[in-house]
A and B are shown apart, each in its own frame.
Chain A
């Protein structure tokens, strides 16, 4: 059985990313100024993103194991933005935390590579391996501040529960393989319909196992327990990274697997996801109310946002999927922006992650306060910010698919969320500063904030372009 050289054009971005990450790893030995590595990573990532548009990039290769289509491209753009913004906001932060190592950038890139593979996976084995590549890198990043007990705790909890989720995923995959004799998503769907496997308890069990595993990854309730501790303890830049990247990757594979491999058992998986979505929105928004640490609060907020995005999956229509993809992009911008402000507050000897630290920020640092205001409005979903548009399209799609009652629940929880987001705004604008907060600024941080703010406002005012992109991407 000779090896036929597979078509490598669709996989060029991944190859470029692999080379880039390996190069950064080696260059770390020779380059003393780690900022150079950050710059190189961004340039390389941009180059990899450029190869998305090469001719022949949209194709299926490796015998259907790797699918490069509009859907995966859109997610890859989100991942690329995510990693570039993360690198921009972490340059100075790493120096403040005294963990300025080159491996950080290599691990970020490897993690992004894993996400890209996940988004393109046409085979459950590839999907699982991509997920592990992403997750393993992120576990290490979460524990990157080694001398900090909280960072250690974050890494350990994330790792243990992530491994638990992987076990579920593998069990689900093995059941699906046992039933259909293949791990290829397309062929699974074919075999299910050919053999009339729909409705068999084994298939349902397999589907539930896989759903549980992905719910861990997107931190949906009741599989969210790791998120608050992991988000709070991890380095803030990593928290920003993992609140967007792995979540988007999780949604990418949920969309891919459930719509591609399990369309025949749609009723069943919708029945699984609806309670998960409701619980996610409820727990995320209600528990966030009582948080005093802003990273923890954003962790619960991130849980809640996963709940909204699940509505797009539940709707299951092309519009639903497109609105979910769109939401991930918008969420990337607004969440990154919010974390950028949090990172600015961190300085030598000052944590700056308690909500009370924001009291009177508008008096001492009006610009930072104004930016935080924009991101908080966007996370709440107040027009004219991008967050409003994201929620609006998701709710529209769900209503069109006939889930009006679910949307009403979502709107109620969305209203509750205003309380804890706007509490930050209130702290900033209506209270007097207790202690002087010094901001740690840098040009790269400024650039990141500029990008995110402009994007949040621009998408809020002119959403059509992004919506169009997502709508075209999803066939």
Chain B
């Protein structure tokens, strides 16, 4: 009963906050609602016994990425920004597509039946702590994807430097 209540609250809050994020006219306010949204998502992870992911969600998304968003948004000309429309004129088309995808997703939900559990059950995670379990999985079974991900991050750094820093017309 109580878990369901909590889940319901977080799910509802996530939806409402997402709507607030995309409908605010002031981009700084959008970012702030998004911050709250990230917290709800982090709570959802906690709810799933994924404490490490929850902390990372806050540290990386709320603490780093969103602050950078805020940086960019702060440098916008807010007076002009407030006068422009929040959505481009084709938004009804987008709404139709979003609705279609939503309907598809809802129809898909029925197929999900909780009938299997993997190697990492809640008991294992509680015993080993989530951080340890995740680390072990990442460095053994998922070593290969992990290494590729590190290359992707390297590319991102190179790209940022090449596009922003490199002196032109050398």
Contacts and interface: CB of A to CB of B under 8 A. Distances in A.
B159 A136 contact: yes
A359 B156 CA distance: 42
A202 B108 contact: yes
Interface residues of A, number: 48
Interface in A153-183: 155, 175, 178-179, 181
B155 A133 contact: yes
Contacts of B108: 175, 200-202, 205-206
B47 interface: no
Given A1-B136, A136-B156, A205-B108, A126 B151 contact: no
B91 interface: no
A436 B108 CA distance: 62
Contact of A202 (B112, B136, B144, B169): B112
A3 B148 contact: no
A431 to B, nearest CB: 36
A137 B110 CA distance: 39
Interface in B115-170: 116, 118, 136, 139-145, 148-149, 151-152, 155-156, 158-159, 161-163, 166, 168-170
A146 B168 contact: yes
A266 interface: no
Judged by DSSP, the binding face of A is helix
A98 interface: yes
Given A3-B139, A66-B144, A98-B168, A202 B151 contact: no
Contacts of B140: 1-3
A18 B151 contact: yes
A147 B143 contact: no
Contacts of A377: none
Interface in A1-60: 1-3, 6, 18, 25
A65 interface: yes
A62 B116 CA distance: 24
Nearest to A203: B111
A358 B18 CA distance: 52
Contact of B111 (A25, A101, A202): A202
Contact of B163 (A123, A140, A203): A140
B111 A103 contact: no
B111 A200 contact: yes
Contacts of A175: 108
Contact of A103 (B104, B144, B158): B158
A126 B112 contact: no
Contact of B105 (A1, A113, A197, A205): A205
B86 to A, nearest CB: 18
Given A65-B145, A117-B148, A201-B104, A98 B170 contact: yes
Contact of B141 (A63, A101, A178, A181): A63
Given A3-B140, A202-B111, A110 B151 contact: yes
A197 B110 CA distance: 12
Given A132-B152, A140-B159, A179 B118 contact: no
A140 B158 CA distance: 9
B89 interface: no
Nearest to B149: A129
Given A146-B163, A175-B108, A205-B108, A110 B155 contact: yes
Contacts of B77: none
Contacts of A181: 116, 118
Interface of B: 104-105, 107-112, 116, 118, 136, 139-145, 148-149, 151-152, 155-156, 158-159, 161-163, 166, 168-170
Given A129-B145, A178-B112, 6 more contacts: A62-B144, A126-B148, A140-B162, A147-B168, A200-B111, A201-B104
25 contacts: A1-B136, A6-B143, A25-B158, A65-B144, A66-B144, A98-B169, A101-B162, A101-B170, A113-B151, A129-B152, A133-B151, A136-B152, A140-B163, A143-B163, A146-B163, A147-B168, A147-B169, A178-B112, A179-B112, A201-B104, A201-B110, A202-B110, A202-B112, A205-B108, A208-B104
